[in-house]
Amino acid sequence: MEYQHGGDIYTNCVTMDYSANINPLGLPEGVREAVYRAADQCFCYPDSQSAALRRKLSEFHNVSAETIICGNGAADLIFQVVSAVRPKEALLIAPSFLEYEQALHSVSCNITYYGLKEEYGFALREQELIAWIEESSRSFQMLFLCNPNNPTGYALKKEQLKVLLDYCRKKHIYLVIDECFNEFLEDPQKYSVLEFLRADSCKQVFLLKAFTKIYAMAGIRLGYGICNDSSTLERIHHIRQPWSVSSIAQAAGEAALEERAYVEASRSLIAREREYLKESLTALGFLVYDSMANYIFFKDIRAEALEEEKLLYHQLLEKRVLIRSCANYRGLDSTYYRICVKQRKENDEFLSVLKFILTERK
């Protein structure tokens, strides 16, 4: 089976991985120490309810612990909420994260796609989406929304999200909002629906968050959902594996929530280096889109890139550099790519290789 995501360092021989959007500061030291301590208790089963972690998340987000559910990464929870709701008709934005489609197929759901427009920079316009749904006369039971979107990196402000929340509530559409990259935005609260979920009236909304990206914990596997709909959470508890979140992951999550200075430093670094990479890629002749997270979405507009499939991907891989081809995203082709944002030294090394490739082809 072909690897479908970034981070494929297992089947590729690489020295530089720019395909996975992980915090370049690496695992926080406090989390590392918590993992070591938790390893000494691995002879015990983990708490199947993740009670201590949920209490800390409750304080961290100022929501009830009863509205929080933890999982083996956000992907685990995507499959769980789909299995709990079991929609017959769902709407997906394209391009967007691949797991939504896989989860919906697992319950034999019929999927309709709303394509983002290149002339808008692949930015979602909420009023146009609503008008399109109305004109389609389809009865959707579920809508997934990734904010900021993966792979484009564009984020909707909370006022725009509120329009979609209100519409979905009126139409009885279960809305799943994925905010796994929200913490990398320069002002995360401006783009989050969290304040709306603090109101009990905000039902049929499932908010996805994860420790994976912002705390560089991809290998630990820890995500969580926030949902005011107790019936959905109850159905998830009936179908989920009881020990899907390891004791090490729970301890790591509790420690990560204390790393506030680390998150601020990460956000500052990403903002600075994202603009540096955008400017550098633009100067090299690529078409760069307005990514707002810790990754950059761009298009290879060289004439030869239209003739040779995944040209830039293969050119870089020959130099042992891995980037994310977006060819398997619906609505994109092999000229679109995504790269992560790292620290300046690494970014300069990456750009040096890229410049060499472009010069070599001339």
Predicted pLDDT of residue 55: 98
The one-letter amino acid code at 159 reads: E
The CATH number of 16-26+260-360 is 3.90.1150.10
Q: What is the pLDDT of residues 52-64, one digit of tens each?
A: 999 999 999 999 9
Give the Cα separation of 223 and 44 in Å (integer): 21
1 pLDDT above the threshold of 50: no
Q: How far apart are the first and last CA of the chain?
A: 36
Contact 245, 72 (CB under 8 A): yes
Per residue in 81-91, pLDDT (tens digit) is: 999 999 999 99
297-318 average pLDDT score: 96
pTM, rounded to two decimals: 0.94
Map out the domains of the chain as residue ranges. 16-26+260-360, 29-256
Residue 253 Cα distances to 195, 204, 258, angstroms: 22, 26, 9
* Amino acid found at 82: V
pLDDT at 3 over 60: no
Q: Phi-psi category of 232—alpha, beta or left, where left has phi over 0 and alpha has psi -120 to 50? A: alpha
| Sequence-distant (≥ 6) Cβ neighbours of residue 24 within 8 angstroms | 266, 269, 270, 273, 340, 341, 342, 343, 346
User: CATH number of the domain at 29-256, out of 3.20.20.70, 3.40.50.720, 3.40.640.10, 3.30.230.10?
Assistant: 3.40.640.10
What does the alpha-carbon distance between residue 322 and residue 342 come to, in Å, rounded to a whole number? 13
